[in-house]
Structure 1
Amino acid sequence: MTRLSRLYLGLAMWANPDWCGSLYPPYGGQEGWLADYARVFNAVEGNTTFYSGAPRAETVAGWSRLAPADFRFCFKLPAALTHERRLEGIEADFDAFVEALSPLHDRLGPLLVQLPRDFGPDLLPRLAALLERWPAAIPCAVEVRHPEFFHKGSAEIALNRLLITHGANRVMLDVRPLFSTPATGCPALAQAQSEKPRCPLHVLSTGNEPLVRFIGHLDEEINLSYFRPWIGQLKLWIKQGKTPFLFVHTANNRRAPELARRLHGELIVQLDQPPLNDFAGERQTTLF
Structure 2
Amino acid sequence: MRLHVGCAMWSHRSWPGRRLPSADRLAHYASWCDAVEGNTTFYATPTRDTVTSWATQTEPAFRFVPKLPKVVTHERRLTDVDEPLRAFLDAIEPLGPRAHALWIQLPGSFAPADVPTLDRFLTRLPRSHRYAVEVRHPAFFTDDRAIRLLEATLTAASAEWIPFDTTAFFANRPTSDAERDAWTKKPRVPLRSTALTDQPIVRYLGRDDSARTVEGWQRWVDVTATWLREGRSPTMFVHTPDNAEAPALARQFHDEVRAQVPTLDALPEPIPVEPLTLF
Same fold (TM over 0.5): yes
State yes or no: 1:47 paired with 2:43: no
Show the counterpart of 1:172: 163
Report if aligned partners of 2:73, 2:106 keep a CA contact under 8 Å in 1.
yes
In structure 2, do the counterparts of structure 1 residues 13 and 176 end up closer, same or farther at CA, with 3 Å as the change threshold?
same
State yes or no: 1:247 paired with 2:243: no
> How far did 1:157 drift?
1.3
Question: Take 1:27 and 1:104, find their aligned partners in 2: how far apart are those partners?
Answer: 25
Within the candidate set 183, 188, 199, 2:189 is matched to 199
- Matched positions, count: 276
Report if aligned partners of 1:141, 1:171 keep a CA contact under 8 Å in 2.
yes
TM-score, normalised with respect to structure 2? 0.92
> How far did 1:235 drift?
1.9
Question: Take 1:105 and 1:212, find their aligned partners in 2: how far apart are those partners?
Answer: 22
In structure 2, do the counterparts of structure 1 residues 169 and 71 end up closer, same or farther at CA, with 3 Å as the change threshold?
same
> How far did 1:158 drift?
0.6
Question: Take 1:99 and 1:243, find their aligned partners in 2: how far apart are those partners?
Answer: 27
State yes or no: 1:73 paired with 2:69: no
Within the candidate set 143, 152, 157, 1:161 is matched to 152
Show the counterpart of 1:147: 138
In structure 2, do the counterparts of structure 1 residues 186 and 27 end up closer, same or farther at CA, with 3 Å as the change threshold?
closer
Report percent identity of matched pairs: 36
Report if aligned partners of 1:109, 1:139 keep a CA contact under 8 Å in 2.
yes
Stretches of 4+ aligned residues off by more than 6 angstroms: none
> How far did 1:280 drift?
4.2
Report if aligned partners of 1:14, 1:44 keep a CA contact under 8 Å in 2.
yes
Q: What's the CA shift string for 1:11-60, capped at 9, x where partnerless?
A: 111132332xx2x1x533111101111112111111110112x2101111
Show the counterpart of 1:82: 73
Question: Take 2:182 and 2:245, find their aligned partners in 1: how far apart are those partners?
Answer: 14
Question: Take 1:278 and 1:165, find their aligned partners in 2: how far apart are those partners?
Answer: 40
Within the candidate set 2, 5, 27, 1:6 is matched to 2
- Aligned-partner SS, 1:39: helix
Report if aligned partners of 1:148, 1:155 keep a CA contact under 8 Å in 2.
yes
TM-score, normalised with respect to structure 1? 0.90
> How far did 1:241 drift?
2.4
For structure 1, which runs of at least 5 residues remain unmatched after alignment?
Answer: none
For structure 2, which runs of at least 5 residues remain unmatched after alignment?
Answer: none
Show the counterpart of 1:30: 22
Report if aligned partners of 2:32, 2:251 keep a CA contact under 8 Å in 1.
no
Q: What's the CA shift string for 1:109-140, capped at 9, x where partnerless?
A: 11111100001112112211121022223111
Question: Take 1:69 and 1:99, find their aligned partners in 2: how far apart are those partners?
Answer: 18
Paired amino acid for 2:236? L
Paired amino acid for 1:211? I
Q: What's the CA shift string for 1:206-237, capped at 9, x where partnerless?
A: 12221110101112222222212212211222
Report if aligned partners of 1:234, 1:244 keep a CA contact under 8 Å in 2.
yes
- Aligned-partner SS, 1:10: strand
- Aligned-partner SS, 1:101: helix
Paired amino acid for 2:92? L
